[in-house]
Amino acid sequence: MSATLEEIQNFKGKYPRQIWSLFFSEMWERFCFYGMRGMLVFFMISQLNFHEKEANLQYGATQAFVYAFTFIGGLFADKILGFRKSLFWGGLLMIVGSLILATDPHKFFFLGIAFTVVGTGFFKPNISSMVGQLYKPNDSRADAGFSLFYAGINLGALLGGYLCIAIGKGELLTNVIPEGMRWNVAFGLAAIVMVISLINFVFTQRSLGNIGLQPGHPMAEVKSAPIPKWQEYGVYVLSLIFVPIIMVMVAKTAYTDYFMYTIGPLTLLYLFYEMTKVTSAERKKLWAALVFIIFSIIFWGIYEQSGGSLSIFAAKNLNKDLLGLDPNGVNNSGGAFFIIFLAPLIGLLWIWLNKRKIEPNTIIKFGLGFIFLGLGYYVLFATRIFVNLAGITSLNFFTLALLIITLGELCLSPIGLSIMTKLSTKNLQGMMMGMWFLASAYGQYVAGIIGASLATTKKGATNYDAFITYTDGYKQLGLYAVIAGVVLILISPYVKKLMQDVK
């Protein structure tokens, strides 16, 4: 082993050196994930002849399953595989999924997607948990580290989200790729970057000391009996069994509802069971984590309008007054673009405030996250100032709303990852991180329901009427977000008590 945990965590400067390697592995994984996600709806409609509504429902189902699987991926990492093996296994499944899609996306569409869903579940939560382990429990630099890591996430999201669909649609590299092969290459690109992610991780492992080792490994931080090999192989086999099941469930979206109704309560029951096995101080911290998780459902429910109703709003109600850019392109990638620049800066701001002893604690940061989110939605409402009778308003002003919403995201999302690692007991790290992402699954689910209710304009309504309906809805969402933020700030003394020494 290269360095001990103590040496890793006692790093000098603002960031631990290993964070850069994890940054790149996660960046390429997000490239693969968002590249694929960006192609789904378009591919289903244009290539598989799905109706718009059907394609959207199926898209929603894949998103719900992807994030729901993070709980399972995190749980198995804690109990059997450890973070490293989970991540590697998840990455392999994602490569297989992308390769299947690259071979024949028309024929094997749902099979490829199902592999990716399960793979992401094993990869996504566990890499974030490893970032957390680079820090001592009370290191005030952790939020800045997660903010930097979050920039990597969004760099991958931006590149993958742009390049894959552009290749598939034939807007990029058209003279090199034969027309009939465009989608194969686009999905193939997702496979290639995922290979890069894993190769990078193999090299990263050397500098991780004992972080992420399998439970029971002789060098593991928490000493326990070795895991029998059959259990490890059992997890691999089980995850392969999940593939056809997910395939069927994604293809028939009615199952998604049943799945969402059951998985949440089941995970909660399981968490309560685990809570009986820890000390009372640890239990309090887990309760605090649950408060953050529950609030994050509200956050994502409002935030995730970006993929749903806001993309319709962008297509129908925005002009091109921002450098002539396409409004949907701005809606899809504006957030990621802002994050890449703002995330490291906000991270440094936390460190700067900490030095002056005025850094807000996590609950207040969460509260601010909601308030920015709410303000952003009020700005969406205020696009009314510039609307014309045809129901078209300013893209510039819309982009300002995106910027404010992004500030909210930066006060909540990376901070949420960070606080999960701080509030979880050592043996529940993966599972709690999984629960954090499971909340995102519910957020996406709720977002779909909100979006659908916004979309129900009366028959014969004009584009202007639709604009009014949408903006009324955004004002309402803005209000809910601000209320959630105020509630969080009001209950902060109680949550603080539960958190004890954690900031």
Angle at 299 between CA 295 and CA 305, to 5 degrees: 155
Letter string b/e over residues 409-426, b meaning 16 or more CB atoms within 10 A of that residue's CB: bbbbbbbbbbbbbbbbbe
Nearer to ligand GLN, 86 or 317 (CB): 86
Q: Tell me the residue nearest to ligand GLN as measured from the CB.
A: 440
| Amino acid at residue number 316 | K
Nearer to ligand GLN, 148 or 227 (CB): 148
Nearer to ligand GLN, 58 or 70 (CB): 70
Nearest distance, CB of residue 413 and ligand GLN, angstroms: 5
For residue 223, the 8-state DSSP code is -
- x/- letters, 114..153, toward ligand GLN (CB under 6 A): ---------------------------------------x
Tokens of 224: 């326990």
Nearer to ligand GLN, 437 or 474 (CB): 437
Nearest distance, CB of residue 339 and ligand GLN, angstroms: 8
Of 451, 453, 446, nearest to 312 by C-alpha is 451
Nearest distance, CB of residue 263 and ligand GLN, angstroms: 16
Site for ligand GLN in 16-75 (CB under 6 A): 30
Binding residue for ligand GLN, selected from 437, 445, 467, 470, defined by CB under 6 A:
437
The answer to whether 390 and 463 have CB atoms below 8 angstroms apart is yes
Nearest distance, CB of residue 53 and ligand GLN, angstroms: 23
Tokens of 15: 């960031």
Nearer to ligand GLN, 28 or 467 (CB): 28
Phi, psi dihedrals of residue 318, rounded to the nearest 5°: -120, 145
Q: What is the DSSP string of 224-255?
A: -PPPPHHHHHHHHHHHHHHHHHHHHHHHSTHH
What span, in angstroms and rounded, lies between the C-alpha atoms of 245 and 258? 14
Nearest distance, CB of residue 332 and ligand GLN, angstroms: 13
Nearest distance, CB of residue 502 and ligand GLN, angstroms: 21
Site for ligand GLN in 151-190 (CB under 6 A): 153
* Helix residue ranges per DSSP H, 77-108: 82-103
Nearer to ligand GLN, 43 or 437 (CB): 437
Nearest distance, CB of residue 255 and ligand GLN, angstroms: 22
Which whole-number Å values give the CA distances from 483 to 94, 298, 408, 496, in the listed order?
Answer: 39, 11, 14, 20
Site for ligand GLN contains 440 (CB under 6 A):
yes
Nearer to ligand GLN, 110 or 300 (CB): 300
Nearest distance, CB of residue 294 and ligand GLN, angstroms: 14
Nearest distance, CB of residue 440 and ligand GLN, angstroms: 3
Nearest distance, CB of residue 311 and ligand GLN, angstroms: 16
Site for ligand GLN in 184-223 (CB under 6 A): none
Nearer to ligand GLN, 30 or 141 (CB): 30
Angle at 86 between CA 85 and CA 90, to 5 degrees: 115
- x/- letters, 295..334, toward ligand GLN (CB under 6 A): -----x----------------------------------
The distance from CA 59 to its chain's CA centroid, rounded to whole angstroms, is 15
Nearer to ligand GLN, 433 or 482 (CB): 433
| Amino acid at residue number 12 | K
Q: How many CB atoms neighbour CB 370 within 10 A?
A: 26
- x/- letters, 243..282, toward ligand GLN (CB under 6 A): ----------------------------------------
Size of the site for ligand GLN (CB under 6 A): 6
Tokens of 231: 């259990």
Nearest distance, CB of residue 267 and ligand GLN, angstroms: 16
Nearer to ligand GLN, 8 or 94 (CB): 94
Nearer to ligand GLN, 75 or 466 (CB): 75
Which whole-number Å values give the CA distances from 186 to 169, 198, 301, 315, 328, in the listed order?
Answer: 9, 19, 30, 24, 20
What span, in angstroms and rounded, lies between the C-alpha atoms of 18 and 420? 20
The alpha-carbon radius of gyration of the chain (Å, integer) is 22
Phi, psi dihedrals of residue 399, rounded to the nearest 5°: -65, -30
Q: What is the DSSP string of 371-413?
A: HHHHHHHHHHHGGGGG--TTS-B-HHHHHHHHHHHHHHHHHHH
Contact positions vs ligand GLN (CB under 6 A): 30, 153, 300, 413, 437, 440
